Amino acid sequence: MKQQAHASMTGFAVIEGKIGKLPVKIEIKSLNHRFIEIKLRIPREFTGFDSAIKSTLTQGLSRGSIEFSLQYLKEDAKPGARFTTDMEAAKSYLKAASDLQKKLKLKGKVEISQLLTRGDFIKYEDQSSTLDSEKNWVELKTLIDKAIVELKASREKEGSHLMSRVFHPMIADMRTGFEKIGKLRDEGRGAYKDKIKSRIDALFQTYNVETHGTEAILETRLAQELALLLDRTDIEEERVRFGKHIDHLDKIFHENGPVGKKIDFVLQELGREINTLGNKAQDVAISEEVVKIKVKLEQLREQGLNLE
């Protein structure tokens, strides 16, 4: 069965381009999150597009804590507050002042400070409104779409790394430990039989057959003791369920689409089974393997949170 590519929740993308004549850079950073959470850092001139930006990101990305940043590549290209000079008016003013000086035979000369006192030579313009057009949004959305594609590629690369370097090796280790537990259990069957025989002998010494009657003993204390002993030491059901859950994990790895939540659920089931198995096992060697598997499960759950 072909192994499917699964995306990590961690990724990063950078795209540069232009919106109108403005050179800009878009960065998207993605981290783990149960749902989708979007944080925007955009210039004031782009606030009119914030809802559209969030909608585009939501449509392109299913889960994750998304940090979206848009900034100007050149600060002097930033629109908004601009001061412009009326050169024709300034020249006319200087000529008039010079003519007046000559005619009245005045000393001195016109300084820049005198020009600055006149507000009509320097004008304030706010150009931010130019970013509210449909054309600007089309250009911005094109850049966002490219950034989303790059982010997804980054997340898939990280997901492939998680699968090949973390999930598959750890699951292989758990299977090995699981098989070892089975061998240890088979090797310990003789010890279990001796323990049961010893318990039966002790019970018959305590409950004399002649005094209590065979049927009464079998129906009461002896039957209860044997049932409890067998139930406390028999780990076969847990072994079977644990093996099926591991097989289920392999099946999930070959599925299409997001698998993070499914993996987390199966890992929880594996945790329950190995805990019960560890509580039942009356063997130090088995307990050691159980601890190793628990450690692997915890590591897998932590890493599994990073899968989409």
Q: pLDDT tens across 180-209, in order?
A: 888 887 776 666 666 666 766 766 666 565
Residue 28 has pLDDT above 90, yes or no: yes
Q: What is the pLDDT, as a whole number, of residue 42?
A: 92
Domain boundaries, the chain: 11-77+130-155, 81-126, 157-304
| pLDDT band per the 50, 70, 90 thresholds, residue 1 | very low
The overall average pLDDT reported for the chain is 80
Q: What is the pLDDT of residue 258?
A: 74
pTM listed for this prediction: 0.62
pLDDT of residue 240 exceeding 60, the answer is yes
Q: What are the tens digits of pLDDT across the range 272-286?
A: 999 988 887 777 888
Whether 140 has a pLDDT exceeding 90, the answer reads yes
More confident residue, 189 or 63: 63
Band (pLDDT 50/70/90 cuts) for residue 29 is: very high
Highest average pLDDT, of 118-122, 185-189, 247-251, 253-257, comes from: 247-251
| CATH entry, 11-77+130-155, from 3.30.1490, 2.40.30, 1.10.3470, 3.30.230 | 3.30.230
3-state secondary structure the chain: CCCCCCCECCEEEEEEEEECCEEEEEEEEEECCCCEEEEEECCHHHHHHHHHHHHHHHHHCCCEEEEEEEEECCHHHCCCEEEEECHHHHHHHHHHHHHHHHHHCCCCCCCHHHHHCCCCCEEEEECHHHHHCHHHHHHHHHHHHHHHHHHHHHHHHHHHHHHHHHHHHHHHHHHHHHHHHHHHHHHCHHHHHHHHHHHHHHHHHHCCHHHHCHHHHHHCHHHHHHHHHHHHHCCHHHHHHHHHHHHHHHHHHCCCCCCHHHHHHHHHHHHHHHHHHHHHCCCHHHHHHHHHHHHHHHHHHHHHCCEC
